[in-house]
Amino acid sequence: MAGELHLVVNGRRALARVAPRLAGDTVMVPARAAVESCGGTVEYLPGPPARVVIMLGGSRSEAVVGENQATAGTRLVPLPAPPVIVEDTMLVPAEVLRPLGIEVEVAEPARACLCGCRDSRLRGRRIFLDPGHGGSDPGAIGPGGTREAAVTLDVAQQTARLLGMAGAVTSLSRTSDRKVSLERRLAAAETRRTEVFLSIHANSFTDQRARGTETYYYETWESQKLASAVQQELVEELGLADRGVKEASYYVLRHARMPACLTELAFLSSPDEEALLADAWFRLRAALALFRGIRTFMDSAAARLA
């Protein structure tokens, strides 16, 4: 149906028998697929009246099919639309999940329902995202006119959104189409006492047959580990040619005082890969991969400090 959305839970595409959907302005979420991926439990009671009981981290929500209110603990929660059953799947409004600590947002134009809960690996961690180019410097321009600066900004903003849902403190070197010097990008990261610096780019080459994903670091073992985690997730998610993790003396890598890497998502000079980068769902998938790569690195960094 026209209102169906992709389901994403904690940075991964999730499978559900019935997809989440928009009913007017209300996001209806398949309860079991969203909650169990966050580590909670869902109990369906056929009734009558049919109801769902959701438990997560000691919190409880309960909702009844056809009723415009739910209970969260002892509190009544008004609902913009009642829960419904579609093909034996309980769809509940996002308001049923939020008291449990599950945030729900709709990512447009990617047509995705993002569900996420706080993650101890990322909560309070300071991440700096650097969308390459901007303003008078558009970066690479594909044969179809797709601009690198626009691609990198969208991917960075989607990545920041996912990190924020998980509890990270995220900053961007730019939030609009403007030019920011390399020196100012690094200065902003240092001012915010950044723990991880990730620069996002799209590749280009004179030969349109060049394609794939690659990620760069400079010298330090920690930066190499970050680059490896990011590259692995990008290749797994996007399915493009793996051009590997490489060392390079790019300014933002050479002068970074924290673990840093620079990733080239795909080749704008390739008509096929330009078409992918121009697609909002593909860009969101790139953001999912960057989110998971950062999470993996932060998890390993925390383990070393434990």
- CATH number corresponding to 6-105: 3.30.457.10
Decide: 61 and 67 in contact? Cβ < 8 Å: no
Which residue ranges make up each domain of the chain?
6-105, 118-305
Asked whether residue 306 carries a pLDDT value surpassing 50, the answer given is: no
Average pLDDT for the chain? 94
Active site residue 264: yes
pLDDT band at 1 (very low <50, low <70, confident <90, very high): very low
- pTM, whole model, 2 decimals? 0.94
Q: How many CB atoms lie within 10 A of CB 305?
A: 5
Token duo for residue 248: 């390079």
Catalytic entry in 195, 264, 273, 274: 264
pLDDT value of position 301:
67
In whole angstroms, give the CA distance from residue 262 to residue 199. Answer: 5
CATH topology of domain 118-305: Aminopeptidase (3.40.630)
In whole angstroms, give the CA distance from residue 305 to residue 302. Answer: 5
Dihedral sign for Cα atoms in the order 182, 141, 204, 162: positive
Burial of 141 (0-12, 13-18, 19+ CB in 10 A): middle
Percentage of residues of the chain with pLDDT beyond 70 = 97
Q: What is the pLDDT of residues 115-153, one digit of tens each?
A: 999 898 999 999 999 999 999 999 999 999 999 999 999
Q: How many residues does the chain have?
A: 306
Q: What is the pLDDT of residues 15-66, one digit of tens each?
A: 888 999 998 889 999 999 999 988 899 999 987 888 999 999 889 999 999 9
